[in-house]
């Protein structure tokens, strides 16, 4: 299904007396080598009106000390224990907002940014003030010309979004319905209106859930296709496959249980069962018995939570209240 490109609609850019200030938050957990590579790419950006902060999400391998030695002037904040992706991202965003930036850029530590990425993201944000979330075009680190994610668009009938492909990127900025939390530029005003990531998700589907709330508030989401980022896809999953399979299964059930209604719920139920069966067969073939058990536990816990869930789904106001109290 095609979608609109907003790069040529002739919108008037935001007029500021100065260049927008960007607070970059790199979210890390262990693995100092990949984190250092990500930091170097962000500290080498051609966009000069930025600050970079590392938010360490409960690392246990001594990587914080290593990174302090490698980057002596870098601002490093830590949370402990690990709060999952959603909790760590929220902590980083909240800390960065204390300096009142014009934008916050959240970036995972298993990425490497093109030197023009921040400039391209800010350019898109300034040209289209109705857009609250802007993501770069993300490519595989091991195959830099192969697109991994440029956002996704909703389908008219089925509740499963369609990822944009390389041939879909016709403009400098593409209007989408979903972007990944791997790297995303957001406006502080968006946090005030819709809150932060829902920390119940921890690792998977927290970005889809946020995008649903952003769209429900009438705020746009876009991919700046000239902003390039390389992602070491699957790096985290390979290190803790069982734990992440569990979180993925629970998050998937939670997300579709809260955001899909009517006859589409039957379609989702069939799809969810197929996803668990397929993942289980793959794990069995690889001899990953812990992942098989994790998938079964995720299915049990996800369905159990779904039965206990309040009918109105996510209460955004509770996140806003909690954020303001911290």
Please indicate, yes or no, whether residues 103 and 40 belong to a single structural domain of this protein: yes
Last residue of a domain, one of 182, 211, 236: 236
Please indicate, yes or no, whether residues 147 and 266 belong to a single structural domain of this protein: no
Closest CA to 315 of 186, 200, 203: 200
- Identify the domain containing residue 249 by its residue range: 240-308
Answer yes or no: are the C-beta atoms of 133 and 184 closer than 8 Å.
yes
Closest CA to 119 of 111, 127, 109: 127
Please indicate, yes or no, whether residues 227 and 255 belong to a single structural domain of this protein: no
Q: Is residue 15 part of a domain?
A: no
- The CA–CA distances, whole Å, from 37 to 28, 208, 231, 270 equal 12, 27, 12, 41
* HSE, side-chain direction, 13 A CA sphere, residue 220: 17
Please indicate, yes or no, whether residues 114 and 64 belong to a single structural domain of this protein: yes
Q: Is residue 223 part of a domain?
A: yes
Residues across the chain: 326
Q: How many CB atoms lie within 10 A of CB 175?
A: 20
Please indicate, yes or no, whether residues 166 and 278 belong to a single structural domain of this protein: no
Q: Is residue 118 part of a domain?
A: yes
Please indicate, yes or no, whether residues 63 and 208 belong to a single structural domain of this protein: yes
Please indicate, yes or no, whether residues 223 and 257 belong to a single structural domain of this protein: no
Mean pLDDT over each residue of the chain, to the nearest integer: 88
Please indicate, yes or no, whether residues 143 and 275 belong to a single structural domain of this protein: no
Please indicate, yes or no, whether residues 154 and 89 belong to a single structural domain of this protein: yes
Please indicate, yes or no, whether residues 130 and 202 belong to a single structural domain of this protein: yes
Q: Which pLDDT band holds residue 235 (cuts at 50, 70, 90)?
A: low
Q: Using one digit for the tens of pLDDT, what is the confidence trace for 17-58?
A: 789 999 999 999 999 999 999 999 999 999 999 999 999 999
Q: Is residue 11 part of a domain?
A: no
Q: Using one digit for the tens of pLDDT, what is the confidence trace for 72-126?
A: 999 999 999 999 999 999 999 999 999 999 999 999 999 999 999 999 999 999 9
Last residue of a domain, one of 216, 236, 256: 236
Q: Is residue 265 part of a domain?
A: yes
Last residue of a domain, one of 175, 209, 236: 236
Counted domains in the chain: 2
Q: What is the pTM of this model?
A: 0.86
Please indicate, yes or no, whether residues 288 and 175 belong to a single structural domain of this protein: no
pLDDT at 14: 60
Q: Is residue 313 part of a domain?
A: no
Q: Is residue 52 part of a domain?
A: yes
Q: Which pLDDT band holds residue 314 (cuts at 50, 70, 90)?
A: very low
Please indicate, yes or no, whether residues 36 and 184 belong to a single structural domain of this protein: yes
């Amino acid at each position: 299904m095609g979608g609109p490109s907003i790069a040529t609609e002739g919108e008037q850019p935001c007029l500021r007396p100065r260049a927008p200030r960007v607070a970059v938050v790199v979210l890390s957990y262990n693995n100092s080598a990949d984190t250092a590579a990500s930091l170097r790419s962000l500290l080498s950006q051609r966009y000069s009106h930025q600050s970079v902060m590392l938010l360490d999400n409960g690392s246990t391998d001594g990587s914080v000390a290593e990174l302090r030695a490698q980057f002596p002037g870098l601002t490093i904040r830590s949370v402990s224990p690990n709060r999952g992706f959603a909790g760590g991202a929220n902590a980083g965003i909240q800390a960065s907002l204390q300096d009142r930036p014009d934008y916050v850029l959240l970036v995972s530590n298993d990425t490497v940014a093109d030197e023009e990425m921040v400039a391209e993201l800010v350019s898109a944000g300034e040209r289209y003030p109705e857009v609250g979330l802007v993501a770069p075009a993300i490519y595989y680190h091991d195959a830099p010309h192969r697109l991994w994610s440029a956002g996704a668009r909703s389908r008219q009938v089925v509740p499963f979004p369609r990822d944009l492909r390389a041939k879909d990127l016709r403009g400098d900025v593409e209007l989408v319905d979903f972007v990944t939390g791997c790297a995303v530029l957001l406006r502080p005003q968006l946090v005030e209106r819709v809150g932060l990531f829902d920390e119940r998700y921890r690792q998977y589907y927290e970005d889809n859930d946020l995008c649903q709330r952003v769209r429900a508030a009438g705020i746009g989401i876009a991919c700046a296709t000239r902003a390039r980022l390389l992602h070491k896809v699957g790096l985290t999953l390979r290190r803790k496959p069982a734990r992440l399979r569990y979180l993925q299964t629970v998050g998937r059930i939670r997300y579709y249980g809260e955001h899909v209604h009517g006859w589409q719920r039957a379609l989702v139920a069939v799809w969810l069962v197929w996803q668990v069966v397929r993942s289980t067969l793959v794990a069995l073939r690889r001899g990953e018995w812990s992942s098989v058990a994790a998938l079964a536990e995720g299915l049990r816990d996800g369905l159990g939570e779904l039965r206990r869930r309040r009918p109105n789904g996510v209460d955004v106001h509770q996140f806003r209240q909690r954020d303001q109290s911290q």
